[in-house]
């Protein structure tokens, strides 16, 4: 692997399972579901009435009341999670290191809630009632911008928008910047909050969402024959990546090392994955090639696992094509069975959980996998969480437009 070594020194999560890293991880390991009826708006006329909402979250622990009025929900989640991240990493950003700390955040749709609010206001009350904060609340890159304002990180500041692969793309390109020596640390991951009338109705129009409204906890069922679509959810998952030299110089905790990243395109369809899994497999191979790792060395995969028919089959085929017979020896988990699909935040949260698996020697299970699809016949951990020392974990994320991203983490060794 050419370039400087890059390690993970901080983690944070805000998910339907919990309002911080430890509560989210504990619920995941215990096989709890974060899916429940939607409370944010009246969805009685909608095909889908369930989602993975962040619950009982108090933004005033992290931002002022005035700022709360000026931020979309996804911005609030990002700022809160960044504060939790820096505390977890023991990093204080100062005038001395601020220019060497960047932010690269994944976000798929941005401020959909704000867009709907002000579009309604425009139609009902006219253009003079549209707030000057409308655009700054809406656009995706305001999330890393707000993090910078709160943390004083003055390095590169931008957003990756690649649908459901946004989070892993952000981590991968942050990794690349650090390897090249452009900065010493990067806040990266993903954030999203699109449980709104337009969000739900839009995915319903595509017939993408589960309609298992009477049984929400069992609605997200990746790789199960009875799956009927993904479950929309929200939240944030962030990692602090640092060069090894920087981390060691300040005596930082080191959770894992980032060793490989791969990105590709299916060049196939605007929403459906290539059923052969070729593009997905290419991204996995790229990550292992950069890390100079043989497929047989990978001992855990955190799957994209959306609980949609074509994605689950395509991902299974891709894993078989890449790993051959070894594919049957790899424990695979699908976090979305419990947290739902966080869209642009999915890869961030799932990368956080992948690193936690490495550092805690624990593989979360995949719930609701009761009747496996005959084409999905790998070791999708379904008997509860599994104790196992892991040396390499591959985290997959694939998005609309046929965009694929994979990040490879390894157990840290001096």
- Supply the residues annotated as catalytic: 164, 304, 341
Q: Is 24 left (phi over 0), alpha (psi -120 to 50) or beta?
A: alpha
Which residues lie below 8 Å from residue 299, measured CB to CB, with a gap of 6+?
Answer: 330, 331, 388, 390, 391, 392, 393
Q: In what order do the strands lie in the sheet with 332-333?
A: 157-160, 101-106, 185-192, 235-243, 6-14, 256-265, 403-410, 392-399, 300-302, 332-333
Cβ(274)–Cβ(282) below 8 Å: no
What is the three-class DSSP state of 78?
helix
Give the span between the Cα atoms of 65 and 76, in whole angstroms: 11
Cβ(177)–Cβ(22) below 8 Å: no
101-106 and 386-387 as β-strands: parallel, antiparallel, unpaired?
A: unpaired
Pull the structure tokens for residue 333: 């988990």
Give the span between the Cα atoms of 400 and 205, in whole angstroms: 15
How far, in whole angstroms, is CA 123 from its chain's centroid?
35
Cβ(364)–Cβ(271) below 8 Å: no
Pull the structure tokens for residue 318: 């891709």
State the greatest distance between any 2 C-alpha atoms of the chain, in Å, as a whole number. Answer: 64
Please provide the size of the chain in residues: 414
Compute the radius of gyration of the chain from its Cα atoms.
20
CB neighbourhood size of 400 (10 A): 18
Give the span between the Cα atoms of 191 and 186, in whole angstroms: 15
> What 8-state DSSP symbol labels residue 274?
P
**Which one, of 48, 105, 33, 81, lies nearest residue 235 by Cα?**
81
Backbone angles phi, psi at 109, to 5 degrees: -115, -15
Cβ(71)–Cβ(137) below 8 Å: yes
């Amino acid at each position: 692997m050419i370039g400087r070594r890059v390690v993970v020194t901080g983690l944070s999560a805000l998910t339907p399972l919990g309002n911080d890293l430890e509560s989210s991880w504990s619920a995941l390991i215990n096989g709890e579901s974060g899916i429940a009826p939607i409370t944010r708006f009246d969805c009685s006329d909608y095909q889908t009435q369930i989602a993975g909402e962040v619950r009982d979250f108090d933004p005033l622990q992290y931002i002022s009341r005035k700022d709360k009025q000026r931020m979309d929900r996804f911005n609030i989640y990002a700022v809160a999670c960044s504060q939790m991240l820096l505390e977890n990493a023991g990093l204080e950003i100062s005038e001395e290191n601020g220019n060497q700390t960047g932010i690269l955040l994944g976000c798929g749709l941005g401020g959909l809630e704000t867009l709907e609010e002000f579009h309604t206001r425009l139609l009902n009350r006219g253009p003079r009632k549209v707030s000057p904060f409308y655009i700054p609340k809406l656009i995706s890159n305001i999330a890393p911008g707000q993090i910078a304002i709160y943390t004083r990180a003055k390095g590169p500041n931008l957003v990756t928008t690649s649908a459901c692969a946004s989070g892993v793309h952000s981590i991968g390109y942050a990794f690349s910047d650090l390897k090249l020596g452009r900065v010493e640390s990067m806040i990266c991951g993903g954030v999203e909050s699109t449980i709104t009338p337009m969000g739900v109705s839009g995915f319903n129009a595509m017939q993408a969402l589960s309609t298992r409204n009477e049984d929400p906890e069992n609605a997200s069922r990746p790789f199960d024959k009875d799956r009927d679509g993904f479950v929309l959810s929200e939240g944030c998952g962030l990692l602090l990546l640092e060069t090894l030299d920087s981390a060691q110089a300040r005596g930082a905790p080191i959770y894992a090392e980032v060793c490989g990243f791969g990105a590709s395109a299916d060049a196939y369809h605007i929403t459906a994955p290539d059923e052969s899994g070729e593009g997905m497999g290419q991204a996995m191979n790229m990550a292992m090639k950069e890390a100079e790792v043989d497929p047989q060395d990978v001992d855990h995969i955190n799957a994209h696992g959306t609980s949609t028919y074509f994605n689950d089959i395509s991902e299974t085929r891709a894993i078989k094509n890449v790993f051959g017979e070894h594919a049957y020896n790899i424990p695979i988990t699908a976090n979305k069975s419990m947290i739902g699909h966080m869209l642009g935040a999915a890869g961030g949260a799932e990368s956080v959980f992948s690193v936690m698996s490495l550092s805690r020697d624990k593989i979360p299970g995949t719930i609701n996998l009761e009747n496996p699809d005959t084409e999905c016949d790998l070791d999708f951990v379904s008997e509860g969480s599994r104790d196992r020392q892991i040396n390499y974990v591959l985290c997959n994320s694939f998005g609309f437009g046929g965009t694929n991203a994979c990040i490879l983490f390894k157990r840290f060794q001096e």
